[in-house]
Amino acid sequence: MTACVTEKTIANRPQDGADPKILVFACRWCSGIGADEAGRQRLPMPAGFRCVPVECAAGVDPDVILKAFSAGAEGVAVLGCHLDGCRYNRANHAAAKRMALLTTLLETVGIGADRLLTSFGTAHEGHQFAALMRRFSQRIAALSALTCRVTKTDPVLGGWGDDA
């Protein structure tokens, strides 16, 4: 049995070569179906992303995205219907506004705006979905690992644990 550690650090970078962990919130009317479509066609896609279907992109609370980063996601994508093709009138505008603000906040503290992807597509666009995931994954992989948990990682010097 191994002891678990509460002082959670953001899960380490996956091993060399593995795709970065990405959490995707996709609306179940458009982009979510597009994602399924991409899978059904066996299009080449990175292996590191997980898709969470949501009723509408506007239902994704920015807090949930922050929690996802905190829990170890290297990137988060919020995908909705095309801007003028929203199932719920223009709810995706609300999502766009909110995500724009959250992106600003992530940029402010230096986590970086490009870790949060907001995009809009539709059900038959499987190819576009796959391409987007590939590019997003590449972009995240090019960034340095995210250690957002506010723990200081400097080595402790002269510890009496070391010399025993």
Where along the sequence are the contacts to another protein (CB under 8 A)? 1-7, 31, 62-63, 66-67, 69-70, 82-83, 89-91, 93-94, 96-98, 100-102, 104-114, 117-121, 125, 128-129, 131-132, 135-136, 139, 144, 148-152, 156-161, 163-164
Helix (H) or strand (E) holding 26, with range, is strand 22-27
Residue number, 7 or 16, with CB nearest to another protein? 7
Q: How far is the CB of 131 from another protein (least distance, A)?
A: 8
Q: Give the nearer residue to another protein in terms of CB position, either 12 or 89.
A: 89
Identify the sign of the CA torsion 31, 37, 39, 45. negative
Residue of 40, 47, 44, 58 lying closest to 22 (CA atoms): 47
Of the two residues 5 and 47, which places its CB atom closer to another protein in the complex?
5
Q: Do the strands 22-27 and 75-81 form a parallel or antiparallel pair, or are they unpaired?
A: parallel
35: tokens are 């994602």
